[in-house]
Homo-oligomer: A and B are copies of this chain.
Amino acid sequence: MVKLQYAFAALAGLVGLAESKDSPRQRAKALLKKMTWEEKVAQMGSIRRLLKLGPEVDEENYESRYELQHGTIGFGPMFNWILDALPIVNDVREKEIKDSRLHIPFITVTDSVNGLFISGGTVFPSNLAMSSTFNLPLFKSVAEAIREEQLSIGVTWVLSPPLDISWEPRYGRIGELFGEDSYLTGEFGHTYVQTMQDKDKNGNIKVACTIKHFVYGESRGGVNAASQYGGINHLFNDQLRPYIRALEADPAAVMVSYASVDLVPMSMNEYMIQEILRGKLGFDGVVMSDAGSISNMYTQSRVATSYADAGLQALKAGLQMELSPGNPAVFPNLIDNVKDKTVAKLIDEAVLNLLTIKFATGLFDNELPDVETSNKTLRQPAHLKLAREADREGIVLLKNDGILPKTPKQVALLGPFGELLNAGSYAAINVSNPKWGDSLHTSLKSALGEKNVKFVPAVDLIDTADDSGIADAVSAAKDAGFAALMLGSLSAPIEDPLFKKRTDGEFFAHADLGLPGLQQQLLDAVLDTGVPTVLILTGGQPFVLNNSTLRSNAILHSLLGGEFTSSALVEIITGEVNPSGKLTISMPQLSSAIPAFYDYLPSDDTGGSEARLGFHSAYQWPVLTKDSPMPFGFGLSYTTFDISTPTAEYKNGNVNIRVTVKNTGDVAGKEVVQVYHRPNTSVGIEFPLRRLVRFEKVDLAAGESKEVKFQIPNKELGYYANAKLKVQEGLYNFWAGSSSRVEDLKGVNVTVTL
C-alpha cells in the first residue's frame, strides 16, 4: 500500500489563490471570477459513486459525468473496505488538484447515519437507536468519533443529520430518524451539527453537515416519497422545530425532501425554500436536492416538461446542487441557459455557496488523508467502547414479568434474526457476514458456551410458504427450557445479498406493523408451549404487539443497533447491563390505530366512554393505545426509581424545575428524567396535551438519590403563530417523570410573566 502524503504548501501553491487570511467566502468569490460556465455548472453536480466493488475506479461513470458534474465525489459501494479504497480515492483527489485548470479539489460527500458509509469504520447505532439512549453527552461523544473517522478518510461533508419527525409509523425510514418528538430530534440534530462542524486549529470546519429532508416524515400512507400536507402552524410548531434548533449550529447545507409539500414537489417549492428556509429561518448555506429528486419532477411528478425544464425550475426555486446517483443528471443542462441573466446569477450564487464550503472545510489548505492516520483512527478502542456503550443504552426493555435478568444454562435461540446484523439500510454492514460483526448466536455462544445454545432460524424473513421449521423451534425451546426469539424487520443496504428480503428502510412502507413472514406464527407456537420466553425485536420501526405476543415473559426492542447490539443484548439478558433505553416512537396497538405519537392535540382526544367498543369505534385518541400503552419515553429497568414531585420557580425569565430521583431498587441503573409542559392559558394556537421540554439521564447506584435541575428560558415555552414565535404570560403546567404516560408523571404549575 502506497503511503500518500501531500504537503500543505505544495497544494496551496498549485491552487494559487488569495491568502488564507481571507474568509472562505472572500476566497470563493475570487475563485468564482476565474471560472468558466462549464466549470461552474460542474461544481453543482457530483460523481456520487467513484468506485466499483473491488475497489476500483468506475472509469465509465467518472468519464461520463466529469465534464459537467464534478463538484463532489462519493465512495460508492459500502462493502469496499476503506483502507483499500483510500489510496485509490486519494489518487483521484490528487489528480484533480494537480491537473484541473483551476486546481479546485473535489469535496467528498457521504451519508453518515451509523458512521462511515463504507466498511472499516466503527458501526454505531442508527439514529433511532441512538435517540433511545436519551443520552446527549454520549451522543456527542459518538458524533466526535464519527467525525474523526470521517475526517481520517477525507470526508468533509456529510448528508446528515436527518431532522424529520416520526409521526407516521408506517414510513420505512424512521430507523434513520431520532423519533417522534420535535424537541428531542432538535436536540440530537443540534448536537450532531455542532459536534461535526467543530473547528480545527486553523479555524476550518471539520465536517460540514447537511440537515434534511426539508421537510418529510409524514408521507401519505407512509409511502416513501409520497406527498404530505402543509400548514404554516403545523410546519413551525412540529416539522420545522428541529430545523430551527439545528440551524442555531449553522449547518453548511440543507437537503430538500422527495415529498410534495402542499402539492408542490420540494425540489421546486419556491415558497418553502425562499420564503420559509431563506426568509423566515434565515438559512444562507447550500440547498441541495435529494438523490434524483430534480429528475423526479419530470419523470414522476410531471410538473416539468423535460429534464431541462426540471433543472431550470429547480434552480429558480433555489436548488444549488444536485445529488444524482444515476444518469441522466439534470443540472448539466443548465449550461444551455447561461446566457439567461437570471440563470447565470443563480448559478453564480450556487457556486459561491459551494466553493465557500470547500474553503471553509480547509480543502484548499489541508493535506489529503493518509492511510496510516486513517488506520489509527478507525475502530480505535475508544470508538469501539463508545459504540458498545451506545448499543447498551439504546436497547429498550418493554416488558418483564421478572424473568430477566437471567443467565440460562441452556437457551434456544429462535428466529431468522439470530444470525443477522440489522443496523439499518445506511449502515456499512453485510447483514449475514460474520466479518462485519457478531450475531446474537455468536454472542450467546460466547457467553453461555457453544453447546448450550441451540439456534433454529425456523422461518424465513418474509416468505410465508414454508412453516416446517416451526416444529424444530418448538422442540428446541422445550429442550432448552428457555427461549430467546429474535424477530423483526430487515433493514439492509442496497448492496446486501439479503436486500431482497428486507422489509424496512428506504423505499419501504409498512401497511402492516406486525412481523413479516411467518415470524408471528413461530412466536405463537413457542409461547403456546409455556417455555419461558424472551422476545427481542429488531427493526427501525415500532411493532404492533398483539395479545399473543404480550404473553412473552420479557420483550426487548433493539431497534437498529450498531455492531455490538448482540453482545449488549446478552449483557442485558444476563443482567451484566441494566437496560436504560426509552422509546422515542410510540408503539401503536393496531396497525391502523395510527398515528400514535404522544403529543397529540386536545382536539384529537374528543372524550367519551365508548372504549368498550375497541378498535371498531375508537371514540378518542387514548383508546388507540389503551391496552398496554408503550408510548414515547417508555422503557423499563431492572431496578425501580422514584422521581419526586417537581418544584418550579419562575425567575429572571427562566422556569427552574427541580426533582429528586432515587434508585429504590437493589441494583445500579440509569433513569431518564423527563420534563413535559403545556401552557394552561389562552394561546390562540392549540397546544398538545403535553410536550417534552427537557430530559436528563441519571446514573444511580442502588439506594442513591440525586437532585436534577432544569432551567427553561421562557422563549422555549412559546409556540409559533403564523411563523412568529409567541410566548404567553400565565399559568403553565409542568410534569416530571419516567415516561410520557400520565401514570408516570407528577405535576407542578408555575406562572410565567414577561
Of A268, A296, A604, A619, chain B has the most CB atoms within 10 Å of the CB of A604
Nearest chain B residue, comparing its CB with the CB of A167: B220
Residues of B contacting A594 in the complex (Cβ-Cβ under 8 angstroms): 221, 592
Chain B residue with the shortest CB-CB distance to A220: B604
A37: Cβ under 8 A from any B Cβ = no
Interface residue stretch chosen among A225-233, A410-418, A439-447: A225-233
Q: Are A686 and B225 closer than 8 Å at their CB atoms?
A: no
Indicate if A513 sits at the interface (CB-CB under 8 A): yes
Taking A237-B263, A303-B685 as known contacts, 12 extra A-B pairs with beta carbons closer than 8 A to each other, sorted by chain A number, are: A219-B604, A220-B601, A221-B604, A225-B603, A227-B604, A233-B262, A309-B682, A503-B617, A508-B617, A509-B618, A510-B615, A591-B592
Check: A624 CB closer than 8 A to any chain B CB: yes
CB pair B226 A229 closer than 8 Å: no
Closest B residue to A600 using CB positions: B220
**27 A-B contacts (beta carbon < 8 Å):** A220-B604, A221-B594, A221-B604, A222-B618, A223-B604, A223-B619, A229-B230, A230-B230, A233-B263, A300-B603, A300-B606, A300-B607, A301-B686, A302-B682, A302-B687, A503-B613, A503-B616, A508-B617, A508-B618, A509-B617, A509-B618, A509-B619, A510-B615, A512-B590, A512-B614, A512-B615, A516-B617
Q: Once the chains are docked, how many angstroms separate the CA of A462 from the CA of B612?
A: 10
- Neighbour of A230 across the interface among B231, B265, B304, B621, CB < 8 A: B231
Q: 6 closest A-B pairs (Cβ-Cβ)?
A: A230-B231, A229-B229, A231-B262, A591-B592, A592-B592, A512-B615
Of B225, B305, B603, the contact of A301 (CB 8 Å cutoff): B603
A553 at the A/B interface (Cβ < 8 Å)?
A: no
How many Å from the CB of A465 to the closest CB on chain B? 12
Q: Tell whether A18 is near chain B: CB-to-CB under 8 Å.
A: no
Q: Does A177 contact B (CB under 8 A)?
A: no
Interface residues as binary, A229-267 with B (CB distance below 8 Å gives 1, 0 otherwise): 111111001000000000000000000001111111100
Q: Is A511 at the interface (CB under 8 A from chain B)? A: yes
**A343: which B residues are within 8 A, CB to CB?**
none
Known A226-B606, A230-B230: A510·B221 in contact at CB below 8 Å:
no
Q: Does A172 contact B (CB under 8 A)?
A: yes
Residue on B with the closest CB to A620? B223
Report chain B residues within 8 Å CB of A301.
601-603, 686
Residues in B whose Cβ lies below 8 Å from that of A662: none
Chain B CB within 8 A of A325 CB: no
Task: Report whether B260 and A603 are in contact in the complex, using a CB–CB cutoff of 8 Å.
Answer: yes
The reply to whether B300 and A610 contact each other, CB–CB distance below 8 Å, is no
Is residue A532 within 8 Å, beta carbon to beta carbon, of the partner chain? no
User: In the assembly, what is the distance between CA of A593 and CA of B509, in Å?
Assistant: 10
Enumerate A665-688 residues with CB–CB distance to B below 8 Å.
Answer: 680-687
What chain B residues lie within 8 Å of A454 (beta carbons)? none
Q: Nearest Cβ distance between residue A479 and chain B, in whole angstroms?
A: 31
Contact in complex: B606, A224 (CB < 8 Å)? yes
Docked pose: A258 CA to B683 CA in angstroms:
18
Shortest beta-carbon distance from A560 to chain B in Å: 16
Interface residue A608 (Cβ < 8 Å from any Cβ of B): yes
A507 at the interface (CB under 8 A from B): yes
B226 & A685 in contact (Cβ 8 Å cutoff): no
Contacts of A234 in B (CB 8 A): 229-230, 262-263
**Cβ-defined contact, A265 with B603, below 8 A:** yes
Map CB proximity to B onto A260-289 as digits: 1 under 8 Å, 0 otherwise.
111111001001000000000000000000
A226 touches B621 (CB 8 A): yes
Q: For the complex, is A489 an interface residue (Cβ under 8 Å from B)?
A: yes
Contacts of A513 in B (CB 8 A): 592
Assembly CA distance A604 to B603 (angstroms): 28
Task: Give, as a whole number of angstroms, the nearest-CB distance from A464 to chain B.
Answer: 9
Contacts of A617 in B (CB 8 A): 172, 502-504, 508-510, 516
Query: Please, which residue of chain B has its CB at the minimum distance from the CB of A504?
Result: B617
For the complex, what is the distance from the CA of A237 to the CA of B264, rounded to whole Å? 12
A593's nearest neighbour on chain B, judged by CB, is B511
CB distance from A176 to the nearest CB of B (A): 16
Task: Check if A170 is an interface residue, CB within 8 A of chain B.
Answer: yes
Using known A-B contacts A508-B619, A619-B507, determine if residue A231 contacts B229 with beta carbons closer than 8 Å.
yes
Closest to A719 in B: B263
Is the pair A263, B227 in contact by a Cβ cutoff of 8 Å?
no
A405 at the interface (CB under 8 A from B): no
Contact B606 A511 (CB under 8 A): no
Contacting pair A233 B264 (CB below 8 A)? yes
- In contact, A621 and B221 (Cβ under 8 angstroms): yes
Contact in complex: A621, B229 (CB < 8 Å): no
- Report the Cα distance A231→B265, complex, angstroms: 13
Q: Which residues of B contact A309 (CB under 8 A)?
A: 682
Alpha-carbon separation in the docked complex, A594 to B681 (Å)? 36
- Between A227, A300, A462, A617, the greatest number of chain B beta carbons within 10 A of the residue's beta carbon is seen for A617
Query: In the bound complex, what is the Cα–Cα distance between A512 and B623 (angstroms)?
Result: 13
Whole-angstrom CA separation of A734 from B271 in the bound complex: 31
A258–B603 touching, CB < 8 Å: yes
Residue contact A608 to B223, C-beta cutoff 8 Å: no
Q: Counting chain B CB atoms within 10 Å of each CB, which of A221, A271, A621 scores highest?
A: A221
Does the CB pair A592–B512 fall under 8 Å? yes
Q: How far is the CA of A658 from the CA of B234 in the complex (A)?
A: 45
A595 at the interface (CB under 8 A from B): yes
- Residues in B whose Cβ lies below 8 Å from that of A590: 511-512, 591-592
CB of B619 within 8 A of CB of A302, answer no
Q: Give the shortest distance, in Å, between A160 (CB) and chain B (any CB).
A: 22
With a CB–CB cut-off of 8 A, which chain B residues contact A610? 507-508
**Least Cβ distance of A534 to chain B in Å?**
23
In the complex where A220-B595, A592-B511 touch, is A302 in contact with B680 (Cβ < 8 A)? Answer: yes
Interface residues of A in 393-437 (CB under 8 A from B): none
- In Å, the complex CA distance between A234 and B261 comes to 9
Q: Which of A222, A503, A603 has the most CB of B within 10 A?
A: A603
Q: Please, how many angstroms separate the alpha-carbon atoms of A224 and B619 in the complex? A: 7
- Min CB–CB distance A173 → chain B (angstroms): 12
Taking a contact as CB atoms under 8 Å apart, the answer to whether A225 and B509 are in contact is: no
Chain B residues closer than 8 Å to A509, beta-carbon distance: 617-619
A316 to chain B minimum Cβ distance, whole angstroms, is 11
Assembled-state Cα–Cα distance A661/B271 (Å)? 46
> With A and B bound together, what is the CA distance between A263 and B261 in angstroms?
17
Which of B303, B462, B511, B684 makes the CB contact (< 8 A) with A303?
Answer: B684
Nearest-CB residue, chain B, relative to A262: B231
CB pair A603 B686 closer than 8 Å = no
Considering the complex, give the chain B residue whose CB is closest to the CB of A505.
Answer: B617
| Nearest CB on B from A69, distance (A) | 24
Contacts of A489 in B (CB 8 A): 616
Which residues from chain B contact A220 at a C-beta distance below 8 Å? 595, 600-601, 604, 621
Question: Are A592 and B686 neighbours in the complex by a CB distance under 8 Å?
Answer: no
Contacting pair A462 B601 (CB below 8 A): no
Per-position binary interface string of chain A over residues 203-225, scored 1 when its CB falls under 8 Å from any chain B CB and 0 otherwise: 00000000000000001111111
Collect the chain B residues with CB atoms within 8 Å of residue A231's CB.
229-231, 261-263
